[in-house]
């Protein structure tokens, strides 16, 4: 198997659009969501939304947040 350095040298010989496709393919291969984490985020978002609807949480306007940061 070729080393990362060898592959990088070969990649630099590709046309720019082909390099972009290669980078996208590599990044896509690394972006595998963990189903358990996804379920936890969904449960958290739903709980927060329900709390907001019950008046237990308040929302801040996006423009106000942008001004802060």
Shared domain check, 53 and 40: yes
Containing 6, the helix (H) or strand (E) segment is helix 4-11
Mean pLDDT, range 38-42, rounded to an integer? 95
Shared domain check, 23 and 47: no
Shared domain check, 66 and 41: yes
CA 57 → CA 11, 49, 53, distances in Å?
50, 8, 8
- Mean pLDDT score across all residues of the chain: 94
Shared domain check, 27 and 5: yes
Shared domain check, 49 and 63: yes
Q: Does the pLDDT value for residue 1 go beyond 90?
A: no
Q: Does the pLDDT value for residue 31 go beyond 90?
A: no
pTM confidence score: 0.50
The count of domains in the chain is 2
Residue range(s) defining the domain that contains residue 54: 33-69
pLDDT of residue 6: 96
Write out pLDDT tens, residues 2-20: 999 999 999 999 999 999 9
């Amino acid at each position: 198997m070729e080393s990362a350095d060898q592959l990088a040298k070969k990649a630099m010989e590709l046309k720019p659009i082909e390099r972009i496709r290669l980078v996208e393919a590599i990044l896509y291969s690394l972006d595998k969501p963990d189903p358990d984490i996804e379920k936890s985020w969904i449960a958290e978002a739903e709980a927060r939304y329900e709390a907001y609807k019950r008046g237990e949480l308040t929302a801040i306007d996006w423009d106000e947040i942008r001004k802060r940061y």
